[in-house]
Structure 1
Amino acid sequence: MRIIVNLDVVMAQRKISSKALAQHIGITEANLSLLKRGKVKGIRFATLAAICDYLQCQPGDLLAFESAESYPNE
């Protein structure tokens, strides 16, 4: 099982730059990039809430669950 991060999709839909989002939520662009690519092990609820507030979305708009059956070769 894995979590798919759709942050880049939501940002593109709202025409929000990585720089603007990173500045607003108080993280570096490098850390935001890692988050967008799903290369992080976790995210603080406060950070997730700040992202959702700025993008006017729900956590489910940003994150999706993919079961193990969806990718049998791993």
Structure 2
Amino acid sequence: MAIIVNLDVMMATRKMSLNELSETVNISLANLSKLKTGKVKAIRFSTLEAVCEALDCQPGDILEYSNVV
């Protein structure tokens, strides 16, 4: 996939666990885990906004484009 999800990196930087983020953002642990591992095909802007607010970051800190296959 050309989009790389760096959610785990941001969570580590902010010292926030998956459980903490799940509770803060009000997203199920299962869905957040899928997002973290990049196994999703889409993300709602409202979800991305909530994650960015919780982690005090920009969308580009979480999502990265790579043209290397």
Q: What is the TM-score normalised by the length of structure 2?
A: 0.95
Equivalent position of 1:42 in the other structure: 42
Equivalent position of 1:63 in the other structure: 63
Identity over the aligned pairs, expressed in percent?
57
5+ residue gaps in structure 2? none
The DSSP-based 3-state class of the residue aligned with 2:16 is: coil
Superposed structure 1 runs of 4+ greater than 4 Å apart: none
Give the CA deviation at 1:14. 0.7
Aligned length: 69
Equivalent position of 1:5 in the other structure: 5
| Aligned pairs (5 A) from 1:17-36 | 17-36=17-36
The DSSP-based 3-state class of the residue aligned with 1:64 is: strand
Determine which structure has more spread, i.e. the larger CA radius of gyration. Answer: 1
